[in-house]
Amino acid sequence: MNALVKSTHQALAIKTGSKAVTQIAAEEKQYLTFMLGNEMFSIGILCIKEIIWYADLTEVPMMPLCIRGVINLRGAVVPVMDLSNRFGKPSTPVTKSTCIVILEVETQTEGEHQNMGVVVDSVQEVLEIPVSEIEPAPNFGTQIRSELIEGIAKVNGKFVILLNVNRVLSSEELGQIGQVAAMADMADMGA
């Protein structure tokens, strides 16, 4: 995995290069691919800060089920989301290949960013996907709401779902999920 992290950092260094590199970046985008169950997903590398092995999390009461807890990342508290659970599937089981991908996402306050971790079954590779190979999100055929999908690409004969990170990790949507979960808990207690 260290080689993958190194190649991610090299790819991030490329983005600050010359006009030729900028033109190539406009024609191709780099994505980190990972597995959730039997499906391959990807996230644009520009929002990825680092990849770490799954470590003990501190659970936080009254959080939506898709929030596994928080980790201490060099003195900063970072919330960690279970993407499988966020997409309405069973939680990701922890194995020796389970990773946490640390992402930088936009907050509701303009110009501010927050680090957030996502639990994935396994990290695969960094791929350069030509923009021409990316299709818009379909209205059907996936179990994920289309607004959470940036697009779909076909790589080596398989479909890769490109996630819209800012929508998937939207604090506004997570707040709504938390409110719905709290109402469901209250209804269960009243029954």
pLDDT digits 0-9 by tens, 9-41:
444 444 434 444 444 445 778 999 999 988 899
Is residue 151 within 8 A of residue 138, CB to CB? The reply is no
Query: What is the domain range of residue 147?
Result: 2-190
Distances, alpha carbon 56 to alpha carbons 29, 50, 59, 92, 186, in Å = 33, 17, 9, 14, 29
* Distance in angstroms (rounded) separating the CA atoms of residues 144 and 128: 24
Is residue 32 within 8 A of residue 42, CB to CB? The reply is yes
Considering only residues 20 and 167, tell me which one the structure prediction assigns the higher pLDDT: 167
> How confident is the model over 39-50, as pLDDT tens digits?
899 999 999 999
Residue 178 has pLDDT above 70, yes or no: no
Residue 186 has pLDDT above 70, yes or no: no
Residue 102: predicted pLDDT: 94
Q: Report the CATH number that the domain containing residue 51 is assigned in CATH.
A: 2.40.50.180
Residue type, 185: D
Considering only residues 145 and 167, tell me which one the structure prediction assigns the higher pLDDT: 167
Is residue 138 within 8 A of residue 150, CB to CB? The reply is no
Q: What are phi and psi of 96, to 5 degrees?
A: -70, -15
In sign, the C-alpha dihedral spanning 140, 149, 92, 1 is: positive
Is residue 171 within 8 A of residue 107, CB to CB? The reply is yes
Number of structural domains in the chain: 1
> How confident is the model over 70-127, as pLDDT tens digits?
999 988 888 899 988 888 888 888 999 999 999 988 776 667 788 889 999 999 999 9
Give the tokens for residue 177.
Answer: 């999920």
